[in-house]
A and B are shown apart, each in its own frame.
Chain A
Amino acid sequence: MQPRSRDFKALSAKSMKDESLQGALRQLETGFVRARRDSASALPEFEALRDQARDRLDDVLANLDIHLLAYEQKVKSQGGHVHWARDGKELCEIVSKICHDAEAKKIIRGKSMIGEEAGLNEALESDGFEVMETDLGEYILQLSKEGPSHIIAPAIHKTKDEISDLFHEAHKAHGLTERQSETSALVAEARQVLRQAFLNADAGITGANFLIAETGSNIIVTNEGNGDLSCTLPRVHIVTAAIDKVIPTLEDASLLLRLLARSATGQEITAYTTLSTGPKHPDDADGPEEYHVVLIDNGRSEMLGNEFREMLRCIRCGACMNHCPVYGNIGGHAYGWVYPGPMGSVLTPLMVGLDEAGNLPNACTLNGRCQDVCPVRIPLPGLLKAHRVREFESRLTSSLVRYGLAGWAWLARNPVIYHPLMNVSMRVMAVLGRRRGAFRWMPFASGWTDVRDLPAPQGSTFQSIWRKRERGDS
C-alpha cells in the first residue's frame, strides 16, 4: 500500500466531512470503549495482568533472537518450514514462491496486518494468483479496493448501504442477483460466496497473534471462524508474522489472551482461539499438508535497539485508537497507511519514513488516554514525542516552528526582558479585547482564531502585580 501520510491534513479534512464515517466513529464510544471498560472492571486481576504482560514481554524482547531460534527449531522439527523476510517485498516474494512451488492457484486469506503492511494481495495478484480475503471486513475492502481503517474492525467506515451495493455488483457473478439490504442477509450472502472459496482454495494465508517457541505453534483469534477455515481446509497453510510475535511458552499466550480480547472488543475471549502446529499429522482426518511460516522484520530489529523498543510489546488490540480523540474525529484512512491511531502514529514513521509520515506523531494532544488503556502499557505519548525529537534533530520540523521556538526560548530564558515585555503586551491586548472579552481574529494566530475565539487577557501580568504587592508589603 502506497503511503499517503504526507496528505494527512487533506485526508483528515475529508474524513471530517464524511457523515457516514462520523456516524461509525461515534459508535466506537458506545461500542468498543464501553465494552472494554466493563470487561476490564469485571476482572479484578486486570491491572496486575497488564503489569505482568509488560514485564514479561520486556524480558522476551531482551532475548528475542534466542526465542526466534527456539521457535524456528520447533517448527522445523515438526515438519514445518520457516522463512525469513527483511521487508515486505521479500515476504511477498517468499509467499509467492511457496504458492508457486505448491502449484497453488487459489489463495484465501485470513485477516493479517502483516499482509497489509507488505502489500501481499497486490503482489500475489500481479503474480497471477487468485486471492480472496475471507474476514468479512477485509472482504468488503477487497471489493471496494480500499485499505483498512481500523486494525480490528477494518471496514468500520463502510455503511450498510455501501456494502449492499458492493455485494450486489460483485455477487452477480455467483448468480446472486438480488440486492440485499439487511445486515443478516448480507452476512449470509458473503458466507455463501466465501464458503465456496474456502472449499476450493489451494493455499490459506493467515497472520498470527502469537508464535509460541515452546511448541512451534501460531495462535490466531477470530470471531468469524474464517481464519480457522483458512488454516484447515487448503493444502497449504502459510503464516505471515512479524518477529516480535514470538513468545516463549503457552502460559505466556494465556496471559496475553486475557488482555487481548478485553482490550480490543471487551470480550473475555473471542469465539475462536486456534493453535496451529506444523502440517497435518499422517493420520489426521484433515488439515494442510504443508505448513510455512514467514517471519518479517521490516524495521523491528532496529526498533529493538533504539528508543522505540517498547512499541514491540504491542499486541494489536486497537484499544489505543478506540480511545484516541483524534482517531475518533478523523478515522483510520486519514493516517494514510496501514496502521492508524496512536500505535500507527508510532509505527508508520518507522516503516515508511518520518519525512513521509511526520504529521502523525504531531497530530496528537498528548492527552495520554491511549497509554491509559494499552494492555501492555506502551508509553505511546512518550514514543510520539520521541518522533518529534527525531524530527527536530533531523531538521524536518518546519523552519517557522524552529525559529519560533528559538525566539520564544531566548525570551523565556531572559526574565528581565520577558516580564516587562509581556506586561506591556498583555495590557495592550486587554484594552483591545475588553469589550468582547475575546478576539475573533488575531494577526499570526489564525490557527487559533479559525475555530475559536482568543480570550483576552485580564491586563497586567501576575509578575508585575506581585512585584507591586511585594514592594507595598516591604
Chain B
Amino acid sequence: MYDNNPPKVRTQKPVVGLFVTCLTDLYRPSVALAAVKLLEDTGATVKVPRAQTCCGQPALNNGDLKHSRQIARQVIDAFSGFDYVVGPSGSCMGTIKTHYVEQFKDDPEYLEKAEDLAARSYELVSFLTDIMGVKSVNTTFEGTVTYHDSCSGLRELGIHKQPRKILKTVKGLSLTEMHDSDVCCGFGGTFCVKYPEISGRMASAKCANIRNTGADTLLAGDLGCLLNIAGRLRREGDQTRVFHIAEVLAGMADCPGIAEGQE
C-alpha cells in the first residue's frame, strides 16, 4: 500500500496532467490554481484535460461498478500521455492509484492502462516532496494552523510526514497538532448524507479537537473533509479559518477561506 520506492524523476521538466477533482473544480478553483503554481514552480508543465470530471468514487463506493468503470475509463484515457498525473486530494488519487486496478480484473486492456496510470499518479503534496524533491516553499502565512490527516491520503497513500515537513518551511506559520488528527471527520462521501446524525457527531468531535489546539486555521489535503469540517465549524458558530494546504503552500490563501462570508 505504501509506496516506499517512488520512481525517480523521469525528466527535469515533466509534463504533469492535473487531476482537478470534482470538488475542487466546482467549489474551490483556487486550490487547483495553487496546485498549478506549486507544480509550475518545480519546472513542470501543467496540462488540464477537459475530458475529466470526477474519479468515479460516488459510483464505486455505492456498489455501482458499471458506472464506476465507465468513468474510470474516461479518466484513464484522458490522462494517457502525461509523465505524471497529480491531484490535490488523497481520496481521488487513492482511488486512481489503488482502486482503478481492482475494477479491471476482467478487462486486460484497461487493466494494463489502469496499472500504468496508477504508477504515474500522485497526490499533490507527496508528489512535490517525494518525487520532485521540494524541501521548502518561499511563502508566508501568518498564523497558527492545525492539520487534519485525511483518511485516504493517510492510509492508502501513506501521507503523514510530508505535509508537516513542508508546512514548517512557510514563514510565519506555526503548526500545532490536534488530538486524533488521524481520525475520520465523518465525511465519507455519500456516508455524510446517508447517516447525517453519525456524520455530524464525528464532525463535531473533529471540531472540538481543532478548537482545543487554539489554532486559528485548519488545513487538510482533501476538499471533501474540508467542506464537511468547515460546514460543521460554521454551524457551531466557530470562526476558525479553513484552507486547503495547497493554498497556503502556494501563498494563495489571501482569499476568503472555505465557508467564509464576504460581508
Contact = CB atoms under 8 A, between A and B. Distances in A.
Contact flag (A, B; Cβ within 8 A): yes
Contact of A448 (B63, B74, B192): B192
Contact of B59 (A405, A418, A452, A456): A405
Contacts of A393: 63, 65
B5 interface: no
B227 interface: yes
Contacts of B183: 325, 367, 369
B259 interface: yes
Contacts of B28: 457-458
A446 B261 CA distance: 21
A389 B230 CA distance: 31
A422 B25 contact: yes
24 contacts: A12-B195, A325-B184, A326-B202, A365-B188, A365-B199, A366-B188, A388-B62, A389-B65, A402-B64, A409-B70, A436-B261, A437-B256, A445-B193, A447-B193, A447-B194, A447-B196, A452-B231, A453-B232, A460-B29, A461-B26, A462-B25, A465-B29, A465-B33, A466-B48
Contact of B261 (A12, A326, A435, A450): A435
A454 B186 CA distance: 15
Interface in B64-83: 64-65, 67, 70-71, 74
A321 to B, nearest CB: 14
Contact of A426 (B27, B102, B152, B234): B27
B139 to A, nearest CB: 20
B223 to A, nearest CB: 10
A49 interface: no
Given A325-B183, A325-B202, A458-B255, A366 B234 contact: no
B211 interface: no
B61 A385 contact: yes
B187 interface: yes
A418 B53 contact: yes
A426 B25 CA distance: 10
A272 interface: no
B61 A405 contact: no
Interface in A432-470: 434-438, 440, 445-448, 450-463, 465-467
A406 interface: yes
A462 B24 contact: yes
Contact of B198 (A16, A392, A456): A16
B64 to A, nearest CB: 5
A39 interface: no
Interface in A375-431: 382, 385, 387-393, 397, 401-402, 405-406, 408-409, 411-413, 415, 418-419, 422, 426
A406 B155 CA distance: 30
A13 interface: yes
A9 interface: yes
A409 B22 CA distance: 13
Residue among A13, A462, A465 facing the most chain B CB atoms (10 A cut-off):
A462
Contact of A367 (B30, B155, B231, B258): B155
Interface in B170-185: 180, 182-184
B255 A447 contact: no
Interface residues of B, number: 74
Nearest to B94: A368
B259 A455 contact: yes
Nearest to B188: A365
A447 B260 CA distance: 21
B26 A452 contact: no
A409 B56 CA distance: 8
Given A325-B183, A435-B261, A452-B228, A401 B62 contact: yes
Nearest to A390: B63
Contacts of B152: 366, 368
A401 B67 CA distance: 13
Nearest to A17: B197
A16 B201 contact: yes
A318 B16 CA distance: 44
Given A415-B52, A451-B197, A364 B255 contact: no
A453 B26 CA distance: 17
Interface in B227-263: 227-228, 230-232, 234-235, 255-256, 258-263
Contacts of B194: 362-363, 447
A412 B71 CA distance: 7
B54 interface: yes
Nearest to A29: B180
| Interface pairs A-B: 10 shortest CB-CB | A365-B188, A451-B200, A447-B193, A392-B63, A388-B63, A452-B231, A462-B29, A409-B67, A367-B184, A455-B259
B128 interface: no
A412 to B, nearest CB: 4
Given A9-B195, A419-B50, A453 B235 contact: yes
Nearest to B257: A437
Contacts of A329: 198, 201-202
B97 to A, nearest CB: 14
Interface string B1-38: 00000000000000000001010111111101100000
A365 B228 CA distance: 13
A413 B70 contact: yes
B216 interface: no
Nearest to B255: A458
A424 to B, nearest CB: 11
Contacts of B231: 438, 448, 452-455
B203 interface: yes
B191 A363 contact: yes
A455 to B, nearest CB: 4
Contacts of A419: 50, 53
B254 to A, nearest CB: 13
A7 interface: no
A330 interface: yes
Given A365-B199, A458-B29, 18 more contacts: A325-B186, A329-B198, A365-B202, A368-B155, A369-B155, A369-B182, A385-B61, A389-B65, A405-B62, A409-B64, A437-B234, A437-B259, A437-B261, A440-B235, A448-B192, A450-B197, A450-B200, A462-B25
Contacts of B44: none
Contacts of B86: none
B193 A435 contact: no
A164 interface: no
A371 interface: yes
